[in-house]
Amino acid sequence: MRSDPLTGGRSAARGAISIRNVTKVYDPDGAQVMAVDDCSMEIAPGEVCMIVGPSGCGKTTLLNAIAGFHSITHGEILLDGVTLCGPKKPLADQGSDRIVVFQNGALFPWKTLAENVAYGPMVQGRWSKAECIERARTALKEAGLNGVADKYPGEVSSGMARRAEIVRALINEPKVLLLDEPYRAMDALTKSIMHEALLEMYDRTKVTIYFITHDLEEAIFLGDRVYVMTTRPCQVKKIIDVKLPRPRDYTILTSEPFRLLVEEANEAVHEEAIKAFQAGEREMA
């Protein structure tokens, strides 16, 4: 019996992220700009970790450091106890164990959805070309994209394309899925469908998810924990444990526990948004 195309039959817990006293200083034109200051986080294997905070506070800087796109200045980041970057290695190696889905779509427009999903395993030589395509078709079908495997990204809706992009990431069996506001430009109805699709895939894979968002309801609905970050330089202001049962569906949005958690997150983020606005006014003065 063939294993799930998104999980490969794996069951061992993996994907623990340790961010320890990380500082990141940018130096444009010789001016020291501190984006992250002595930031520490512990993300458990299989946790859905939601990151919220004011625009420009340094959320994406941390994601890029985990992915290996940006170096860090001080501290260290570990994945399953192994150092990704630290004092002797400021820039992490990029790898298929950490896959990023950005705000803007990154599907190859000249490839069908099935070919896009199959691309990673084909390049890695994990299976034959025929088996890669077959697994891609199965994964798309199980993600609710039956009947569109042979269509090109420009021939399907933005929601379908984004769902295919996440399937493409998961078929590589990453330890960590890094999501940088993937649903930011979507309307409310499409976003709600995408939330349910992501939760369905998460319930099957239990991949660790590091998800940046400005949508507080999205953060509470999807997350196990919500990290509220300070205005720049980025630090952890508050950790909100989301003790809502899984699997989740949209009936939970009208519950009192959900409303109270959103209010708690909103209060913490609002304080930092005011600080960010005031800091911007001072810089312009």
Residue 239 lies in a domain: yes
pTM summary value: 0.90
Query: Which pLDDT value is given to residue 111?
Result: 95
Residue 82 lies in a domain: yes
Range of the domain at 271: 17-97+174-284
Residue 115 lies in a domain: no
Residue 151 lies in a domain: no
Residue 103 lies in a domain: no
Query: Which pLDDT value is given to residue 272?
Result: 87
Residue 201 lies in a domain: yes
CATH of the domain at 235: 3.40.50.300
Per-residue pLDDT of the chain (285 residues; tens, 9 = 90+): 345 666 655 545 699 999 999 999 998 667 788 999 999 999 999 999 999 998 888 899 999 999 999 999 999 999 999 999 999 999 999 998 999 998 777 899 999 999 999 998 998 888 999 999 999 999 999 888 988 999 999 999 988 998 999 999 999 999 999 999 999 888 888 888 899 989 999 998 999 999 999 999 999 999 999 999 999 899 999 999 999 999 998 899 999 999 999 999 999 999 888 887 777 644 433
Tell me how crowded residue 249 is: count the other CB atoms within 10 A of its CB: 10
Domain count, the chain: 1
Residue 105 lies in a domain: no
Residue 144 lies in a domain: no
